[in-house]
Amino acid sequence: MPTAFITGITGQDGAYLAKFLLGKGYHVIGMIRRSASSDVIGERLRWLDVLDKVTLVDGNLTDLSSLIRLLQEHKPEEVYNLAAQSFVATSWQQPLVTGNVTGLGVVNMLEAVRIALPEARFYQASSSEMFGKVQAVPQSETTPFYPRSPYAAAKLYGHWMTVNYRESFGLHASSGILFNHESPLRGIEFVTRRITDGVARIKLGLKDRLTLGNTAAKRDWGHAGDYVEAMWLMLQQDAADDYVIATGRTASVEEFCRLSFAAAGLAMDDYIHTDPALLRPAEVELLLGDPGKAARVLGWKPRVSLEELAAEMVAADLKRLSR
Ligand code: NDP
Ligand code: GDR
């Protein structure tokens, strides 16, 4: 039975990846950071019914010694580095924490692999945010980067360090440049979940408006369940490499709203308000990925459409709030 080690297992992707790998017969070790809220920390794993099937271990991406110790002890064949301060808006409020975890944390993980387990295969969760002020449309593996936030700058550092450790030390280190992916387990602060939770509240009479920031921003949105399969596929290749993972379709925040309200049988225009306080100091206006290389080399394709994604998220939020 192969062993996989996941940082960020309590997050959206960590939960879906754990479920996916368990289905493939892996022994899954998930690193969690110490929290005063340990009774609720496994909420996403519980939602997917895998909490009692994974082994949770104590560590922190900012503590290199904990990472080395964990790799020495568990000797995983595959290491998935998903942990990060992942909310772009917060990265302007906490640029140093973001740099420390989302940027330097990657180097801690790479160093731990290099020192303790250089034969392990390594996955780094890179991001379409690195394209930022886009230099070409659509964006592919060869499009130049132009980060627009402390988060994106930190991710770019982690990305290049992953490439560098592959080239310098021969690590099997791959970087997945993933475009936005969502699910019912998306954090409530991200726009899609803010919308589907808002729609569900309006539908149930718990709220009468939905307040948003820049509704013109466009994103290439897929489903997290599809995207974790791409992470795994990257680590099954003989050679490590970098891949864009996206759907090849872009839609505005407003369009995602329209689909979500429609899924609940409501007309969007009666409920949307905008608040300039929610605008970002520098915005990423348009993301559209070209997943051609992933299709060609990995045989990967997204399955869930944007309409299905919005409907699934609204249904899940209605279910949660009706309890
Ligand atoms: P989440 O924000 O849902 O999860 C982040 C995870 O990182 C949580 O488990 C969190 O733990 C953990 N974490 C944060 N800081 C530390 C730390 N210092 N030490 C250990 N663990 C820590 O993110 P997603 O699941 O959405 O994303 C997974 C990864 O993919 C992230 O790196 C993100 O930046 C990247 N990404 C995400 C995309 C998306 O659309 N979802 C697209 C492209 C990249 P806790 O529960 O304790 O907070
Ligand atoms: P993003 O996701 O920044 O793309 O990063 P988010 O859902 O936060 O924002 C997407 C777009 O929606 C606009 N927006 C709002 N955003 C939020 N959160 N709340 C609002 O009320 C709102 N109104 C409009 C934003 O301005 C933005 O343009 C996500 C994260 O998962 C990153 O970790 C990941 O790397 C990238 O996706 C790819």
Q: Which residues have C-beta atoms less than 6 Å from ligand 2?
A: 86, 88-89, 127-129, 179-180, 189-191, 194, 212-215, 217, 219, 253, 278, 280, 283-284
List, for residues 43-93, the tens digit of each pLDDT value: 999 999 999 999 999 999 999 999 999 999 999 999 999 999 999 999 999
Q: Over 90: is that where the pLDDT of 105 sits?
A: yes
91 assigned to active site = no
Return the ∠ at Cα 308 (arms to 302 and 314), rounded to 5°.
130
pLDDT of residue 40: 82
Omega before 138 within 30 of 0, i.e. cis = yes
Q: Report long-range pairs for 36-42 (Cβ below 8 Å, ≥24 apart).
A: 41/10, 42/10
CATH number of 187-219+250-287+304-322: 3.90.25.10
Is 187-219+250-287+304-322 in the same CATH topology as 3-181+221-245?
Answer: no
Architecture of domain 3-181+221-245: 3-Layer(aba) Sandwich (3.40)
Q: Which of 80, 151, 157, 243 is catalytic?
A: 151
Q: How far is the CA of 11 from the centre of ligand 1 (A)?
A: 5
List, for residues 125-150, the tens digit of each pLDDT value: 999 999 999 999 999 999 999 999 99
Our CA dihedral for 103, 105, 108, 110, rounded to 10 degrees, sits at: -70
Tokens at 149, concatenated: 């936030």
pLDDT of residue 323: 86
Domain residue extents for the chain: 3-181+221-245, 187-219+250-287+304-322
For 252, counting Cβ atoms within 10 Å of its Cβ (0-12 exposed, 13-18 middle, 19+ buried), the class is middle
